[in-house]
């Protein structure tokens, strides 16, 4: 790997376990939108390993150079240059995709942004579309570990939105059915939703 590429150790650690879930969840999908691609590491790995999909990256503009660098370093025919997509500001084009993926975004976004993302997914996704949402969440208000509770507190102190509870995500997305809660390494979860 070129040393100048932006790098997330967490992404490198979790990409294979996430892929094992996405390979099944997106098996009937064709066109995936990723919200908050970050470094771009996940995108190039999933695009290479899920060649039946077209993988549309997106993020806030200041992430785009890094995503372009990863796509240039690890090109795939099925990965697309990032869209500017800012939840809470951009039009959210969920109606154009039969799958959406996002990782580690709900605890970074402000609460109103997560509400906007979930409600837009609920209203705009085509029938049968799949939404896979990876990250740390609380279940019925309970943190999965002490370290997660401490991280949530640090996020709040730094001005981020902090962990969201699975129940509130369900409430904000009434047309989505939560079909599976996958337990992932490092006390994370992958929530698999389907548009009814
Ligand atoms: C912790 S990083 C995760 C990046 C990558 N998905 C990963 O798993 O490594 C949080 C990501 O959420 C994105 N993000 C935060 N607020 C956002 C918003 N309102 N709209 C779109 N993306 C947002 C950031 O730009 C960043 O890419």
pLDDT at 125 over 70: yes
pLDDT in tens, 144-163: 999 999 999 999 999 999 99
> Which atom of ligand 1 lies nearest, measured to the CA of 8?
9
Domains defined for the chain, CATH in brackets: 9-104+113-195 (3.40.50.150)
Nearest CA to ligand 1 atom 15: 109
> Which pTM does this prediction carry?
0.97
CB atoms within 10 A of CB 93: 14
pLDDT in tens, 69-81: 999 999 999 999 9
For the chain, the average pLDDT equals: 97
pLDDT classification of 12: cutoffs 50, 70, 90 = very high
Ligand 1 pocket, CB under 6 A: 8, 11, 35-38, 42, 59-60, 63, 85-88, 103-105, 108-109, 113
Å from CA of 17 to ligand 1 middle? 20
């Amino acid at each position: 790997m070129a040393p100048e590429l932006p790098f997330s150790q967490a992404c490198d650690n979790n990409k294979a376990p996430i892929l094992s879930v996405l390979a099944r969840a997106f098996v009937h999908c064709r066109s995936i939108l990723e919200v908050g691609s970050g470094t771009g590491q996940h995108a190039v790995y999933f695009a290479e390993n899920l060649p039946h999909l077209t993988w549309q990256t997106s993020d806030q503009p200041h992430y785009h150079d890094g995503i372009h660098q990863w796509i240039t370093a690890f090109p795939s025919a099925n990965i697309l240059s990032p869209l500017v997509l800012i939840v809470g500001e951009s039009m959210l084009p969920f109606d154009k995709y039969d799958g959406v993926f996002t990782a580690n975004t709900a605890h970074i976004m402000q609460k109103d942004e997560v509400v906007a993302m979930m409600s837009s997914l609920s209203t705009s996704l085509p029938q049968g579309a799949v939404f896979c949402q990876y990250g740390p969440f609380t279940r019925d208000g309970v943190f999965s570990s002490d370290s997660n509770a401490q991280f949530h507190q640090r996020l709040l102190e730094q001005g981020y939105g902090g962990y969201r509870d699975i129940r509130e995500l369900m409430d904000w997305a009434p047309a989505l059915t939560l079909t599976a809660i996958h337990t992932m390494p490092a006390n994370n979860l992958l929530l698999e939703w389907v548009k009814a």
